[in-house]
Structure 1
Amino acid sequence: MNVGIVAQKGNSRAAYLAADMREALAAVDAEALVDDATAEQLGIDGLPVEEFADCDLVVSIGGDGTFLYAARGGDGVPILGVNLGEVGFLNAVSPDDAIDAVLDVVEQIRADEPAIREVPRIVARGDDWELDPAMNEVVVHGPRRGHGGGAGIEVRVDGSLYSGGHADGVLVSTPAGSTAYNLSESGPLVHPGVEGLVVTEMAASEGMPSLVVPLDATVTVTVTDAEEAIVVGDGRTRRTVEPPIEVTIEQSDSPVRLAGPTSDFFEALGKLD
């Protein structure tokens, strides 16, 4: 059995916990693989996170950003998140409980009885391109935020017009991503048990309120009146496109698979600034 471990970059506490976890896994005949950055910190051999897709389990140690990074690398592999004291909507396990939680999941997988739950991701597409699936949000915006930087925006849901006009951009988020960029744009908090997507316009001149649509809805964002537009997934993967262009955003057929205990959504809300 192979367990990939991704620790928050530059965080010595996360790296030391990864080292302790490696020893505990070796004691139960499980091989622990660590990402390149953590391996360098520990003075051992590591692997690119993209190679963790061949693991049986991936452990993320850090915050939600580390979790999203691990989820992209270990695409389709069950992921257990260890929270190092940040908001922790995706990371349900405390450092003190981390090793026991990982060993429990290893035992479940070996018994072919893993307690796995799926969290949806979304994907943005153009005529001849597609971004990697995003767990939090996809943003489509003009060349820059602020005065003079927006674009003409038209938003449709399953082909029906919802809003149109000038705006900095449009943000489409999953329930998991409602507490991130969406919240900063005055979008609503959405409980993770809700099967829907949130459509939020960004600094629209005559915009509509945020809209929650079914999880299987297709959202199209047409961008005009700008020299360029940018499509961003989870703040990391991006593509610059030339208007006029229509960007389609819909549920990916590749959800994130979560292992281990669930986080308390309302307790995590208490950590928001």
Structure 2
Amino acid sequence: MPRVKNIAFLASTTPEAQSARERLVARYGQAPVESAAIIVALGGDGFMLETLHGTMHVDAPVYGMNRGTVGFLMNTYRETGLTGRLAEAEEARINPLRMVATRQSGEIVEALAINEVSLLRAGPQASRLSISVDGRVRMEELVCDGALVCTPAGSTAYNYSAHGPILPIGSEVLALTAMAAFRPRRWRGALLPKVAKVRFDVLDPGKRPMMAEADGQSVRDVVSVEVASEPSVCHRLLFDPGHGLEERLLREQFT
């Protein structure tokens, strides 16, 4: 396959990532992000999410190399042979979630989330939520520390640590997972079709305040949060052959 040119290198603020960027730019050059054929992100998973959000307007896939900690969305870091790796890389396409959060003041905040949209208690007492799916109330009251809706790509992140299921890429489902559910006892959530529209209503926002987060973007004092897949936005990630998201999700379940 032809060797890839016009690479834009982006790096997190850590010294390790910045140093790697300097060496890679010296070796392969640096293209402007707007005209790049491929964007290479150097950092951890948090920086990968930041890069995907920040380059949505660019028609170029993103290839990550791990210069951070977890690196689930990243490839192994190696300086040599990069153009060949990029030419042979496998592409995964991901639709994010759209969050529409309404605050007690009436302000409406929208955000996109590649991993998950989560609601978390913002006070000392457990939260009380009502959950609706496609306009129908499915749970009148959930007493918990929080709840989240995640994509398959995000199912090994916060969702997994909250004992939610790992979702195969391409499964066309979303996971709704509770955090520390008190009532119903030990309720951990549900699997929903990708086209489902989920709504959380905070039942006692004055006494039991909640905040919402979409990939780290926080909204405090919410009274309701709507979550749905956003098919009009498609993120493109590149992985080394045999190490794509599908393989990583499978491997995660047997380790």
Q: What TM-score range do you get, normalising by the shorter chain?
A: 0.7 to 0.9
User: Does 1 or 2 have the higher relative contact order (CA < 8 Å, sep 6+)?
Assistant: 2
Structure 1 residue 15: deviation in Å? 2.5
Structure 2: stretches of 5+ with no match in the other structure: none
Q: Does 1:23 align with 2:6?
A: no
CA-to-partner distance for each residue in 1:31-60, whole Å, 9 max, x for gaps? 345xxxxxxxxxxxxxxxxxx466443211
Partner of residue 159 from structure 1, selected from 130, 135, 140: 135
Distance 1:122 1:254 in 2: 9
Alignment CA distance shift 1:223-1:85 (3 Å): closer
Q: 1:222 to 1:238 in 2, by over 3 A?
A: same
Change (3 A) 1:269 1:117: closer
**CA contact 1:89–1:268 (8 Å) conserved in 2:** no
CA distance 1:271–1:71, change in 2 (3 Å) = farther
C-alpha separation in 1, matches of 2:12 and 2:229: 28
Q: Write the distance in 1 (CA, Å) between the matches of 2:71 and 2:15.
A: 16
1:246 paired residue number: 224
Indicate the residue corresponding to 1:256 in structure 2.
Answer: 235
Structure with the larger helix share: 1
Amino acid at match of 2:27: A
Instruction: Provide the TM-score with structure 2 as the length reference.
Output: 0.79
Distance 2:213 2:83 in 1: 32
8 Å Cα contact 1:81-1:90 kept in structure 2: yes
Following TM superposition, by how much is the alpha carbon of 1:220 offset from its aligned partner in structure 2, in angstroms? 0.6
Q: Aligned-pair RMSD on alpha carbons?
A: 2.9
Say if 1:71 and 1:256, in contact at 8 Å, map to a contact too. Answer: yes
| 8 Å CA contact 1:153, 1:165 repeated in 2 | yes
Structure-2 change in CA distance of 1:115 and 1:165 (3 Å): closer
Whether 1:94 and 2:76 are equivalent positions in the alignment is: yes
Aligned partner of 1:254: which letter? Answer: V
How far has the Cα of 1:104 moved from its partner?
5.4
Q: List alignment gaps of at least 5 residues for structure 1.
A: 34-51, 109-113
2: distance between equivalents of 1:266 and 1:104?
A: 21
Residue in 2 that maps onto 1:122: 97
Q: What TM-score comes out, normalization by structure 1 length?
A: 0.74
Q: What does the per-residue CA deviation read over 1:90-112, in whole Å, with 9 as the maximum and x for residues that have no partner?
A: 11x3222x55344654x69xxxx
Could you tell me which of 147, 154, 157 is aligned with 1:177? 154
5 Å matches for 1:1-273?
A: 3-12=7-16, 14-26=17-29, 31-32=30-31, 52=33, 55-76=36-57, 77-84=60-67, 86-91=69-74, 93-96=75-78, 100-102=81-83, 105=86, 116-126=91-101, 129-144=108-123, 148-163=124-139, 164-207=141-184, 208-227=187-206, 228-234=209-215, 236-242=216-222, 245-252=223-230, 253-261=232-240, 262-263=243-244, 264-265=247-248, 269=252
Instruction: Report % sequence identity.
Output: 25
Counterpart of 2:155 in 1: which secondary structure? helix
Give deviations 1:223-254, integer Å, cap 9, x for gaps: 121223211012x2111134xx2211011231
Q: Partners in 2 of 1:165 and 1:266 — Cα distance?
A: 29
Letter in 2 for 1:133: L
CA distance in 1, matches of 2:90, 2:252: 25
Q: Contact conserved, 1:219 with 1:248, CA < 8 A, in 2?
A: yes
**Rounded Cα–Cα distance in structure 2 between residues aligned with 1:256 and 1:71:** 7
